[in-house]
Structure 1
Amino acid sequence: MPRLKYASVARVVVILGLFCLWLQIMLSASSGGMYREGEELMNANDTSEQVLALVPPELHKYLTVHPKNSTANSTEKISYKNITDIKRAIQRCNDAQLIHNEDIFGPVQNDTIIIAIQVHTRLTYLRHLIVSLAQAKEIDRTLLIFSHDYYDEEINALVRSIDFTKVMQIFYPYSIQTHPNEFPGMDPNDCPRDTKFDQAVKLKCNNALYPDLHGHYREAKYTQTKHHWWWKANRIFNQLQSTAGHTGMVVFLEEDHYVAEDFIHMLGLLKSTADKSCPQCEILSLGTYLKTYQYHVNSDKVEITPWHSSMHNMGFAFNRSVWSNIMELQEQFCAYDDYNWDYSLLHLSQNRPGREKFKVILCKGPRVFHIGECGFHHKKSNCNASTVISKVQKLLVNAKPYMFPTRVSATVTAGGAKHNKKLVKGNGGWGDIRDQELCANMTRIGRQARRNIYYA
């Protein structure tokens, strides 16, 4: 009997040990590390047949995953060049300002539609965004600017393989990847997030005097997104030679967005409607966060309402004159204690001296969709990209008869309570004086001459 009890206890210990090991692996997979959060959960090597069936065969090349010469499992990080080499590659690319396919589609004009895509590491989502862009009508009239905060050869190769319009890559030069052990990354002597102020002062950690409004210290993986967005916008409007005289629309997308085939057509209708009926509408929005979609009712309807960050930050667009208005309040953007770039813009919108809040004109039938089920703010248990993408594909197939309306009808709304609620304070995460200074310094970099650099 004692032996049976001992055996039972041993089995329980073994089972618990295996469970703990499994839990540790799953937690590691769900967090995905600093750079590839959620990527392995999406099974990047398996785009479902259901998804492929709705992608034209000639575009399958953008979904093809090339096997690496490694037997390592998917949770292990890829071996990259050393940081010095990556920094040099980033500087070469940023200095060159090379526009791929310019010889085929012609130079950038002042009214060329620029589509700015913020890219981190979620390659699976990016592949499907590119497929959706490739199917959009009039895409050959645009310039795609991919803005990266992580240097990845596989991502770079994918972007360079785009052959349906002009393409440029820019690289955020102050990333965690290139500064892993120093600011703007995490310096070993930085204060841990939850350290109490008095304890931080005793520890003499770097940012002890600068917790955020909630008493927490900075986390680089969160501050980077706001830095990257601000750097990207400054780069496009203030620094690139090809955009020096640009007066057209800049559409802001992210790697986990998906566009409808008529999104450029709708952008034109939004702009012409705003010009005629709403000159005070400074922002156009192609995406909204809806739970149900009724294209038979809303495909040709647009709404004019106060702009709100969490509702109108997907596929939104503005031009240089709006950027100039934002730049007038750049100090507020950089000093506002919120690690979200969109809430920081909302703060500006609600505090413009002598001016009303930003107004937006938006599609009631969205033309941009969010397909990202995994990431910093979307950690769902089912992170299979194909499931979500398949839903969007089917939605667009069913909506096809209602796409490309010849005109739109606009309604004006005052917005709901959430639209008009005054921001009392930010979400925090941006109390560190170093983040505020880095942000402010990004606007002081002048326009750089385009260099002709040729690669072997």
Structure 2
Amino acid sequence: MILYWQYISTKLKNFRIYIKSKLQDTNAIRLAVFEGVILVLCICFVLIIIYHAPKMHTWKTNIENNRIMDKIKRYNSMQIIYNTDIYGPVDSDTVIIVIHVRDKLNYLQYLVDSLSRSRNIERSLLIFSHDYYNENINKFVHKTNFARYIQIFYPYSIQTHPNRFPGHEVKECIKLTTPNENHKSLCHRKTLLIQEKHRYWWTINTVFEGLQVSKNISNLVLFLEEDQIVIRDFLYVLLRMNFKRKTLCPNCNILSLGTYNSSFKPPDTSTISISPFSASKHNMGMAFNKTTWHQIRNCAREFCTYNDYGWDHSLQYLSLNCAQLNVMMIKGPRIYQLEKCNNTNINHSKSCNFDTITKIQKDIKRKRRNLFPIRLQVVNEVVANNVIKQSGFWNDDRDIKMCMALTSGAIVLKKSN
């Protein structure tokens, strides 16, 4: 009996060893299968990522654009005026200075520095109108301590609408196969150029109609660009011109402080010329009040339907065909244009130089005794050339409709409570 039990025990032990070995083999097989499945899944995942990489980039871009758009909406709705605790509220004597800001921080730094050195700048309100959202630029603007300021952001920029109207719609262009004029217009929209006209029209509508601080007052509004600098008596001259306008040129409804001819003589610092609006002469340092704005706004159809991406050429067409714009311009400019850079983005360009700054500073130093003139006089009346050569790129119906929508108030700023 004992021998039999030993025999059974030995057989059971051998069977357990056999079963254990089989189970080990089974686990090995299962492990190998599991590892194979994981490997296949990883390969599939990599292939999916490679296939959807462009879409994932688009998703990431859309998320970032949505984040920027939310910040833009918040800025535009809050309409916060900074430094009122130092310089008081905006009143009827405040000169409003609108500064168009793109993405050229170096340029903007020179402009702001020149503004800070100007006499009576603390009596002004600076409106920084951006068509590009950039945190570094915002931080720089928030360092402004010499005047009141507010920031607004163009909400339909190419930055936030890179693949849809009013940006460039690549998908829609690819779908088009019929070579007709409408399709050609869609596929060849010069979005960077077109944005300039949209941005200008949005800004001017917003300043006079949308902002609570400026829509109910008839203050003088001066328009500057980020790539310009001002002379320290520019506000003094602007107010003198506005005061003398009624006697020197009652029909003048636009004042101009800039000219592309910087080689003026000292006597020109106190002389003015009078002429109808010309895009090539008067598109720098323009200033006008709400009365003039209403004249321009009533001719919005002429501005919005004219086939030219340039806001200045469109304004000249408006002047010739709807509401005549006459300009009083100081011959000795108080606003200078900086040289352009070879690279599109100055923040990443090593080819940019600011030799113009040195030249301007030397020129101003030579003529500093002629600044702050007591008297202004008209030396001649210039008849502008009424012939305009269209630049085109403004024949898409959607651009025209958007322009008219901005005018009619369909797209406005709403101040948050």
TM-score relative to the length of structure 1: 0.73
Residue number among 360, 372, 379 corresponding to 1:392 in the alignment: 360
Residue number among 221, 234, 252 corresponding to 1:250 in the alignment: 221
For the 8 Å contact 1:143–1:167, the answer to whether it is kept is yes
For the 8 Å contact 1:108–1:242, the answer to whether it is kept is yes
Residue number among 199, 208, 228 corresponding to 2:183 in the alignment: 208
For the 8 Å contact 1:241–1:448, the answer to whether it is kept is no
> What is the identity, as a one-letter code, of the residue corresponding to 1:434?
R
For the 8 Å contact 1:217–1:432, the answer to whether it is kept is no
> What is the identity, as a one-letter code, of the residue corresponding to 1:162?
T
> What is the identity, as a one-letter code, of the residue corresponding to 1:299?
T
The change in CA–CA distance for 1:151 and 1:392 in structure 2 (over 3 A counts) is same
For the 8 Å contact 1:111–1:248, the answer to whether it is kept is yes
Q: How far does the alpha carbon of each residue in 1:387-422 deviate from its partner, in whole angstroms, 9 at most, with x for none?
A: 11111122112211111011111134133xxx2232
- Aligned equivalent of 2:285: 315
- Aligned equivalent of 2:9: none
Q: How far does the alpha carbon of each residue in 1:334-358 deviate from its partner, in whole angstroms, 9 at most, with x for none?
A: 1111000000000000112xx6x31
For the 8 Å contact 2:206–2:413, the answer to whether it is kept is no
- Aligned equivalent of 1:422: 387
CA distance in 1 between counterparts of 2:326 and 2:345 reads: 28
- Aligned equivalent of 1:333: 303
CA distance in 1 between counterparts of 2:68 and 2:343 reads: 25
Gaps of 5+ in 2: 1-60
CA distance in 2 between counterparts of 1:378 and 1:271 reads: 37
State the Cα RMSD in Å. 2.6
**Residue 100 in structure 1 maps to residue 82 in structure 2:** yes
Task: Say which structure is richer in helix.
Answer: 2
- Aligned equivalent of 2:207: 236
CA distance in 2 between counterparts of 1:272 and 1:170 reads: 30
For the 8 Å contact 2:90–2:125, the answer to whether it is kept is yes
**Residue 438 in structure 1 maps to residue 402 in structure 2:** yes
The change in CA–CA distance for 1:204 and 1:82 in structure 2 (over 3 A counts) is farther
How do 1:38-187 residues align onto structure 2 when only pairs under 5 Å count? 82-187=64-169
Q: How far does the alpha carbon of each residue in 1:70-123 deviate from its partner, in whole angstroms, 9 at most, with x for none?
A: xxxxxxxxx998111100000000000001111111111134111011111111
2:149 alignment partner, SS class:
strand
Gaps of 5+ in 1: 1-78, 193-198
- Aligned equivalent of 1:280: 251
For the 8 Å contact 1:302–1:362, the answer to whether it is kept is yes
CA distance in 2 between counterparts of 1:131 and 1:190 reads: 45
2:119 alignment partner, SS class:
coil
Structure whose alpha-carbon radius of gyration is higher = 2
CA distance in 2 between counterparts of 1:375 and 1:180 reads: 23
Residue number among 290, 313, 317 corresponding to 1:343 in the alignment: 313
**Residue 361 in structure 1 maps to residue 343 in structure 2:** no
Offset of residue 359 of structure 1: 1.1
For the 8 Å contact 1:210–1:433, the answer to whether it is kept is no
Deviates more, 1:364-373 or 1:106-115: 106-115
1:321 alignment partner, SS class:
helix
CA distance in 2 between counterparts of 1:328 and 1:172 reads: 22
For the 8 Å contact 2:339–2:354, the answer to whether it is kept is no
Aligned residue-pair number? 354
TM-score relative to the length of structure 2: 0.79
For the 8 Å contact 2:320–2:386, the answer to whether it is kept is no
Task: Among all aligned residue pairs of Structure 1 and Structure 2, give the percentage whose two residues are the same amino acid.
Answer: 38
